[in-house]
Amino acid sequence: MNSIVYTVIISFFCLTRLLTAAQCPTERGPLTVWLADATNCQADEAHCNRFGLDYVCSEEIVNPHPNATCQVGVKALCSFPPIPSSLVETPANTFKQLAYNVWELRYLYYQIGQRERTCRIIPETFRRHPDLDAIIFNEAFMGGCIAGFNLSYSGEKLTFRDILHEYGFKYITATIGNPPTPRKFENGGIFIASKWPILEEDNVIYEATQPLTADDLSQKGASYAKIQKTVGSMSRVYHVLGTHLQATDNIGSDNVRRNQAREMHGLMLSKNIPPHEPVIYGGDLNADRFSDLAADIFEILDASMPVIVGDQNYTKDKTINDIYDGKGSQKWIDYVLYSNAHLQPSKLATVQVVIPKTDDPFGVCLDEVRVWPRPLFADNPRCRKTKNITDLADHFAVMGHFQYEEDVTVDVTPTHPPTPPVVATTIDPAGINVQPGFPIYRCGLMMPRTAMPTRPTALITD
Ligand SMILES: *[C@@H]1O[C@H](CO)[C@@H](O)[C@H](O)[C@H]1NC(C)=O
Ligand SMILES: *[C@@H]1O[C@H](CO)[C@@H](O)[C@H](O)[C@H]1NC(C)=O
Ligand SMILES: *[C@@H]1O[C@H](CO)[C@@H](O)[C@H](O)[C@H]1NC(C)=O
Ligand SMILES: *[C@@H]1O[C@H](CO)[C@@H](O)[C@H](O)[C@H]1NC(C)=O
């Protein structure tokens, strides 16, 4: 009798151990994802690590989706790493805005390590810049990291939105141009993520395009977010507009970009933003910093380039980006600008090219124009070119850093437009040395220190 009870207890114990050992935890953390698409269909720790994710456990694939990459084999539960350093708060009158073209073109036509790179972008960005306030994303067409790539099957997702939300950027505008239309079947790839509440959002899809270019088939445009930053007892509103102007280059493209800039400026005007609130523009303008086109776009937006700091001179530099082979073009085409017609960043206005990257190289398939409907990883023999890289996109990011007067009036809407610029001294009454050319608002009054440089008033032809 005793031995039967004993055997039953032992068998039960062993069975329970066997079952629990074979099973993954029933409780999943917030940023976990099942990946069932390893090249050999045996997803293991290395498959999670491929994307910079931590390995949790593996299980046999059961009841796969009929379009899933692996119908039999093993899937792995992977977990996104926790935020590398806690977010840092800066006073409400300062604002750090990043613009980042993340090169997340859709699978089907491109194999450019989309998942491997973009899964690393957000942790590496916050590791270096824990004090960011908002990020404008460009070319986040699928959604970033483990995103959906295909209408009929993508597998489980863990997107930029999920990661940003968990990392403390809980306020995120819609990706513009979603859902796509039959004629413009790709979205605009643009959205704005903010650490602070977004009081209002809007967007425009550009009418100015060149028919049948890749730009025309995607719903490029401008995204607007009215962000309220509150720290301690101080609260400030920032108006952020993010865009990605036409990339295709052929006859007439520059005028398309000018017209797109006019449409973005129109979106800004439609918001009736009081002149004592700041307006920040950002994104890939596809206009080189020294070109007439860039000068025209700045004029159309009535915006200024902040003072450049840091040692990088290009936002897309094929000579140093290890996605490329050490040669090729160098361009500054990504921007964070401030509007001249609104509150001026009188205490600080800088822009810096920043390079989020990993310490350790990771392998990607760089088979750029490749018709294949799902991800090809570096260990897949179908991939015609693999590379170990540390850079996370074809562009670097660009970071605008602005600081405004503390004692500006924020709750009174002026009944008349700001007074025209008047020449004043370059020393602030409070003794703060400021850059010449930065007019300041104090209690709703514009007090420029020096005359703004006059811009050519020649008409831009269409
Ligand atoms: C979606 O993926 C499935 C499975 O890989 C593939 O058969 C199908 O052609 C893809 N559809 C599109 C529209 O790319
Ligand atoms: C599988 O993919 C095909 C082609 O894209 C699609 O027509 C079909 O609906 C998909 N099956 C399921 C169950 O989603
Ligand atoms: C950027 O340009 C400056 C001035 O010409 C130069 O000193 C600096 O080395 C350049 N930076 C890089 C990374 O090449
Ligand atoms: C990438 O690195 C791995 C591990 O060090 C190595 O085995 C592989 O050959 C490298 N691939 C390329 C294309 O250099």
Q: Is the CB of 371 under 6 A from ligand 1?
A: no
For ligand 4, atom 10: residue with the closest CA: 388
Q: Identify the residue whose C-alpha is closest to ligand 2 atom 2.
A: 152
For ligand 4, is residue 363 a contact (CB within 6 Å)?
yes
What is the position in ligand 2's atom list of the atom closest to the CA of 151? Answer: 5
Q: How far is the CA of 376 from the centre of ligand 1 (A)?
A: 13
Asked which of 157-161, 167-171, 403-407 is least confident by mean pLDDT, the reply is: 403-407
Distance 373 CA to ligand 1 centre (A): 5
Q: Give the number of the ligand closest to the Cα of residue 314.
A: 3
**CA nearest ligand 2 atom 4, residue:** 152
User: Does the beta carbon of 26 lie inside 6 Å of ligand 2?
Assistant: no
Q: Does 7 have pLDDT greater than 60?
A: no
What pTM does this model have? 0.85
| Segment 229-263, tens digit of pLDDT | 999 999 999 999 999 999 999 999 999 999 999 99
Judge if the beta carbon of residue 311 lies within 6 A of ligand 3: yes
In this structure, which residue's CA is closest to atom 6 in ligand 2? 152
Ligand nearest 65 Cα, by number?
2
313 CB less than 6 Å from ligand 3? Answer: yes
364 CA → ligand 4 middle, Å: 10
Q: What is the pLDDT of residue 228?
A: 98
pLDDT tens-digit readout, 13-38: 434 434 443 478 888 888 999 999 99
Percent of the chain with pLDDT over 70: 84
**370 Cα: distance to centroid of ligand 1 (angstroms):** 14
Is residue 5 within 6 Å of ligand 1 at its C-beta?
Answer: no
CA distance 71 to 50: 21
Q: What pLDDT band is residue 150 in, cutting at 50, 70 and 90?
A: confident
Cα 146 to ligand 2 centroid, rounded to whole Å: 20
Minimum mean pLDDT range among 125-129, 166-170, 248-252 = 248-252
Query: Average pLDDT in the 104-122 region?
Result: 95
pLDDT, position 410: 59
Residue to substitute in 152, 154, 372, 374 for testing ligand 2 pocket (most ligand atoms within 8 angstroms of CB): 152
Q: Which atom of ligand 3 is nearest to the CA of 311?
A: 11
Banded model confidence at residue 411, pLDDT cuts 50, 70, 90? low
Return the ligand 3 atom nearest residue 312 CA: 13
